[in-house]
Amino acid sequence: MSTFLFAVVSGILFGVFFSLMAIGLNFAFGVMKIVNLAHGDFVMLGAFGAYYALSTFGINPFETMIMEIVVFLVVGVALYYGIIPRLLRSDDPEMLSLILFFGISQVIEALATLAFGTNPVTLPTNALGQLSFQLFGQAFESSWVISFLVSVVAIGLLYVYLYKTKMGIATRAIMANRDEAAASGIDVNRISAIAFGIALVLAAIAGTLTPFMLGGIYPSVGVNLTITSFSIIVIGSLGNPIGTVVGGLVYGLSLLLMQTYLSSWANMVPYVLLILILLIKPSGLLGKGARNA
Amino acid sequence: MRKNKLSNAIILVVLAVLFILTPLLYPNQSVPFQMMAFMTLAQGINLLYGFTGYLPFGYVGFFGSGAYGVSILVLLLHWSVIPAVIGGGLFAVVVALLLSPLLRLSGAYFSIGSLAASEIVYYVVSNPNMQNITQGPYGINLAGIYDPNTSYYAMLVILLIFTAVVMYVKNSTFGMSLLAIKEDPVSAAMAGINVVRRRVAIWLVSAFAAGLVGAVYGWYVSVFYPSSVFDLTISIFAIVFTLFGGGGTVLGPIVGTIVLYGLYNTIGVSSPQYFQLIYGLLIVVLVMFLPQGLTSLLKRRGINVP
């Protein structure tokens, strides 16, 4: 019984972390209707940032996080203006964005391999700080709890941005209908550029936590992280940020339960969940109506 | 139509002569072998992507199914080689049949769904619990049927067959109906085309191509591991070669494979990251400036590309 409770509580801790990892992908899709297949590679870059900052300069992951927020925001805005307006004018932006970001993902992976090598790197789990947390008589890794708390704060801030600020409201207007938002005087490109920057920032924050949650980091891990994120947002419903949290929890719980009881099959979890949801309820658990499939 | 037939025949003859002559002139037989393998895979992707718009990231799942199909038929059921290779291809068709509900998805969902499906096949095959059937992660040894020369020519035959299939599809009413479905499935259905049946048909043919290539590849190398025959790079290469040359044409995948796989062999083998960097940038440039591939440069000038 205590094994079960341990798996459930860790599943929730991991689930919220996975929600943070996936929510940027969903946000970019919601605003621009593009599939950022390089999402996991940005998470990977964030993780390597945390690794080098700590192992070379002794900078603690929270300070790295703040630096990465600035860097990734700038990169995201630049990347947006460089490619996306052109992409959105084409016949089939969704499919072309998939191929294009797949190319970007290959470029990032190649550069990361040249810079960091192919061997996995790890960070000591206590580098995030110590925090004792007990529930049902079980002690949980402090890095898991801290990552959980950071994820809750980051997701919370995204909500505050979307629902309480003027720019957030404009973002939601674009999500609802890009053309009508433009017609009512919203600077669609500026708002979308910032949204894309925020999507990458969320990936980077998840990235700085990744070495503590998932262990070894290596350049080609990006593809797996992208698929995991995609599974989570499809489970939740594309374009629905609340859904991503549900998706993350479903994914985290199933992963930890499988690791506890059927560990040799646990690697298959994201793929099986993705296929099941796509085939049974393609609009996702919280989706309304069908997608144009 | 007559002109098409002539140029198609020339393409087939040139391919046959090219791959019969290269092993005589070039000391390393495995380079032209792998080029033929990738060319056939690219034509398989072409059948699906070029004519229906479905881009299967998980295409390697069929390749791996073919390789494991042949090894199961040879090692466990003691079939002789040629029937086992064909059986390996049919293994992939069975997998494709099981996965055909994926065709209900469109665009990005299909691509990523097929990727997930191929990962599932990989994890099932490589699972230590499957050791009695697939040897799990420990790999397959087919030393008993090792025969690089015969398998080389078997691959050539498969390449010629599927190049001819692409030629047939391109010039037949079947291919036209696929293009109509790609353009607008609802109107195509209204015009009396059975959308589901045609999509599934081309999906199975495409899977059969990859399965046969995988089977002959397994025969040719004779020792392989799940991680090598389910390597995502195989899908990625075949997709990039097709996109680079241009989907929906016979020549596109051939040109794409010769140029890019040639490039890979000159710079890629020793330092794969530089090659990965180049084709990553290439994809970005293609999508931004030339989404229909190299052959569209000729088409734009009004030149008919077979």
Domain that holds residue A28: 2-117+139-280
Please tell us whether the domain made up of B2-300 is placed in CATH 1.10.3470: yes
CA diameter of chain B: 58
Task: List Cα–Cα distances, B187 to B184, B195, B202, B203, B220, in angstroms.
Answer: 6, 10, 19, 21, 46
B246/chain A closest Cα distance in angstroms: 14
**H or E stretch at A138:** strand A138-140
Residue A131 covered by a domain: no
Which chain B residue has its CA at the smallest distance from A233's CA? B109
Taking contacts as CB-CB distances below 8 angstroms, the residues of chain B near A102 are: 283
A257, burial (CB in 10 Å: exposed 0-12, middle 13-18, buried 19+): middle
pLDDT digits (tens, 9 = 90+) for B257-294: 998 888 888 776 677 788 888 888 888 888 888 877 78
Q: Which of B273, B278, B286, B296 to mutate to test the interface with A (most CBs of A within 10 A)?
A: B273
Residue A152 covered by a domain: yes
What is the pTM assigned to this prediction?
Answer: 0.85
Across the interface, whether the CB atoms of B104 and A293 are under 8 A apart is answered yes
Task: Tell me the angle at which helices B232-245 and B30-45 cross, rounded to the nearest 10 degrees.
Answer: 70
Which among A37, A276, A282, A273 has a CA at the least distance from the CA of B104?
A282
Q: Which of A91, A106, A238, A258 to mutate to test the interface with B (most CBs of B within 10 A)?
A: A106
Please tell me what DSSP assigns to residue B223.
Answer: E
Cα B12 from Cα B17, distance rounded (Å): 9
N- to C-terminal Cα distance for chain B?
11
Please tell me what DSSP assigns to residue A120.
Answer: -
Torsion of CA B148, B153, B155, B161, to 10 degrees: -170
pLDDT score for B1? 55
Across the interface, whether the CB atoms of B108 and A267 are under 8 A apart is answered no
CATH number of the domain that A197 lies in?
Answer: 1.10.3470
Which regions of chain A are under pLDDT 70?
1, 128-137, 239, 282-293
Across the interface, whether the CB atoms of A98 and B107 are under 8 A apart is answered yes
pLDDT score for A137? 66
Residue A290 covered by a domain: no
Residues in A whose CB is inside 8 Å of some CB of B read: 35, 83, 86-87, 90, 92, 94-96, 98-100, 102-111, 113-114, 223, 227, 230-231, 234, 264-265, 267-268, 270-272, 274-275, 278-279, 282, 291-293
Cα B55 from Cα B33, distance rounded (Å): 25
Supply φ then ψ for residue B141, to 5 degrees: -125, 115
Task: List Cα–Cα distances, B17 to A15, A171, A185, in angstroms.
Answer: 57, 59, 64
Residue A50 covered by a domain: yes
Beta carbon pairs, A and B, within 8 Å: 117
B269/chain A closest Cα distance in angstroms: 14
Supply φ then ψ for residue B133, to 5 degrees: -100, -50
Q: What is the domain count for chain A?
A: 1
Residue A125 covered by a domain: no
With H, G, I as helix, E, B as strand and everything else as coil, classify residue B141: strand
Residue A97 covered by a domain: yes
Across the interface, whether the CB atoms of A265 and B232 are under 8 A apart is answered no
CB atoms within 10 A of CB A252: 23
**Residue ranges per structural domain of chain B:** 2-300
HSE of B161, CA atoms in CB hemisphere, 13 A = 15
Residue A285 covered by a domain: no
Taking contacts as CB-CB distances below 8 angstroms, the residues of chain B near A113 are: 273, 276
Which chain B residue has its CA at the smallest distance from A262's CA? B129
Q: What is the pLDDT along chain B (306 residues), one digit of tens a residue?
A: 566 788 888 888 888 888 888 888 877 888 899 999 999 999 999 999 989 888 898 999 999 999 999 999 988 888 888 899 999 999 999 999 998 888 887 777 888 888 889 988 998 888 877 777 778 788 888 887 888 888 899 999 999 999 999 999 988 899 889 988 888 888 888 888 888 889 999 999 999 999 999 999 999 998 899 888 998 889 988 988 898 888 888 898 999 999 888 888 877 667 778 888 888 888 888 888 887 778 887 877 777 777
A266, burial (CB in 10 Å: exposed 0-12, middle 13-18, buried 19+): middle
